[in-house]
Structure 1
C-alpha cells in the first residue's frame, strides 16, 4: 500500500494534467449542439439532392462496348485472384481468355489495317465534357454550403465549449478539438463548436447513407464510364489492352492455394 501523501500527490498531478473541470450550461446542447448537428444533416441531404438534379443523366452503353469492358475486367480479375482456383479451372480459363483476347474477338470497334487510328479531341468527346461539368458542379455544391455554414458557426457559436468526450486523447488532438477556444491548460477532451462542425463533416456519412438509401450506382455502368473516360489521347486502346492481357495470362505462373490442402490441414490440426 502506498502512503496517503503519495496518493494525494498522484491525484494532484493527474488533476493538473487533465486541466480544470468545467460546468457546462445544459442549454448549450439545446441551443448550440443540436442546431449545428441538424443543420449539418439537412445541408448534407440538400447537397445530395442538388447533385442528383445537376448531374448528367447516365448514358446507355452499347452491348458490344460493355462486352469488351467485361472481358478486359475478367482477364484482370483472373490475374489478380487466380490463386483461389484449382489448376484445372485456371488452365481452362487461361486458354480461353488468351485466345479470345489475342484475336480481339470481343472488340467493340474492329481494327482496320488500311486505316490509321484517329486521335479524338477530348473536348469534343461528350463523355469527357459531361465528366468535367459534373466534377465542377460537385466542387461548387460542396464549397458554397461549407463556406456559409462555417461562417454561421464561427459567427454565432464562436468560443463555445459544447461537450466532453468520454475517452482520453493525446495532446495532438487539442488543435483539432478546441478550435476557436483560446486556452492552453484545458483538457483535450473538451470539444468546441467549430471543432464539432469539422468532426460532423466527416462523421455524418453513415447518416446520409441511412437517409438516402446508400449508393445505388450500377457497377457495370460505373465501369463503362471509367473505361470511356480512360480513352484519352496517348492512352492504351482496348486492342492494346487485350493483347497485353493475353500475353500476361499466357506467361502467368499459376500457384493454387488448393494444392496439397488436405496434407496442410492434417498437419495443422494433427
Structure 2
C-alpha cells in the first residue's frame, strides 16, 4: 500500500503554481521594442545630407555669390567638408591658397563619414592644418555619448601642430523641431555634457560651430561658453555680424557655401602663426 507523503504533495503543488505563474507572465509580456533601451541612439535617416551649414542657408538665407568678403586683414583661408563632397581635390585647394580644413567625422552615435580618411589624411598630406567635427543630434543620445563616439571615430587631438581641436556643430535640426525638443536649460546642459567629456578625453576645449540666431533660440543666448570654447560662426554675407552672447570675437567664419572647388569656405580670424597656436594648444 503506497505511503502518503505530505511533503511530496506540497512540492508538486508548488511546481504547478510556478508553471501557472510563468504562463500568465508570458501572456502579458509586451513585444521587445516596447522595452527597448531608452538610452540607445535613434536611427539617423540621412546623415550624408547633414554638414556644417547644411541647415543655415535653409533657415537664415545669405549671399550665394561665393566671393571673399572685402577688407579682411591677417586671415587664413580654409574649407570644411563631409561625405557630400566625396573625394576632395586637396592639391587644387592648396594651390588656391587654402591652408586649413575641418572634416565631418561623425553624427549621433552611429554614423561615420565614409570619406573621412581621404579627406582628413589627404588635407594633412598636402600640408594643411586640419581638424574633425561632429554633427550634433541632442535628441538622439547624451552629450557624453556623442563626445565619446566622436573621439573614438576620428575626432581626437594630438599636439603635432597640424591638428585642430575637434568642433561641435550645433545648428537647426534636420529631422524635426529646431531645438530638438529641448528647453534652453536642457540644451545648455547637453552642450556642457559634450564639451566637458571632450575636454576630459583630449585635454582640449572643442570649437563650437553655431549661428547667432540658432544660439539665441535654443540656448536662450547662453554666455556660458564664450570664455572657454572658440567660436566658428556661419554667416553668408559681407560681415560676421552679431555674435552669440559670451563671445567677444569669432575664431573661424564660414563665409560662403558656394566657394570654388569645395562649396564651404572659411576664414580664420588671425595670421598663420595664430592658427598654428590653436592647433598646438
TM-score normalised to the size of structure 2?
A: 0.21
> Per residue, is there more strand in 1 or in 2?
2
Between structure 1 and structure 2, the one with the greater Rg is: 1
Structure ranking higher in helix proportion: 1
Higher RCO (Cα < 8 Å, 6 or more apart): 1
**TM-score, scaled relative to structure 1:** 0.21
